[in-house]
Amino acid sequence: MSRHPEVKWAQRLDKVYITVQLPDARDVKVNLEPDGSFTFSATAGAGNNTYELQMDLYDKVNKEASKINIGVRSIFCVVEKAEKGWWKKLLRGDGKAPHYVKVDWDKWVDEDDDGPGDLDLGGMDFSNFGNMGGGAIDDDFEESDEEEQAEKTENVQKAVDVEPTGEASSEAKTETSAST
């Protein structure tokens, strides 16, 4: 039986941001169709649990201009809308959104606040959905994860190399003096 990962979303006039929260995802497959059909599958966790997701987005999208970044903790998609305009919600239909679909308040901007500024994507490496050919992911994403892990290891090593001075701060000295 497959599980559903948590999905967060936000929008701008011309695009929708979709974040699939799934740490340490493997065998990631993402597919986006021009009619707004968004599918996702991956395995994660100690038990290699299968996670699947199928969403019909509110309106049509531009697959070729849309981008994806697969990171260590999440899969981030920038979905370009086929026509500029604010969507009333993320998914088609009259029903309530599933419990695992939530608004990403960290990226959310109100219609009247949407100006020329854009979301800072922190230099993420994105690939086009149009080049994914049925949702297959190439090895470039694994390299970026390996580089990120190497940076973390290097930063930890730097922190370990710092020798403690053996001197307590003046606040700690004052506390020790007051308690004796």
pLDDT per residue over 113-163, tens digit each? 765 555 555 555 656 665 554 444 444 444 455 555 555 555 544 444 544
Q: How confident is the model at residue 58 (pLDDT cuts 50, 70, 90)?
A: very high
Q: Is residue 178 part of a domain?
A: no
At 8 the pLDDT is 98
Q: How confident is the model at residue 2 (pLDDT cuts 50, 70, 90)?
A: confident
56, containing H or E segment: strand 49-56
CATH number at residue 26: 2.60.40.790
Q: Is residue 172 part of a domain?
A: no
Express each pLDDT in 158-177 by its tens digit.
444 544 444 444 444 444 44
Share of the chain above pLDDT 90, in %: 58
Give the residue-averaged pLDDT of 87-93.
96
Calculate the average pLDDT of the chain. 78
Q: Is residue 171 part of a domain?
A: no
Please give the Cα distance from 85 to 61 (Å, whole number).
12
Q: At which residue do the structure tokens 């029903």 appear?
A: 95
- Domain range for 55 is 6-159
Q: What is the side-by-side order of every strand in the sheet holding 26-32?
A: 26-32, 37-44, 49-56
DSSP letter for each residue of 95-125: SPPPTTEEE-TTT---GGG--S-----TT--
Q: Is residue 29 part of a domain?
A: yes
- Number of domains forming the structure of the chain: 1
Q: Is residue 24 part of a domain?
A: yes
At 42 the pLDDT is 97
Q: Is residue 1 part of a domain?
A: no
Q: Is residue 58 part of a domain?
A: yes
Q: Is residue 69 part of a domain?
A: yes
Express each pLDDT in 30-53 by its tens digit.
999 999 999 999 999 999 999 999
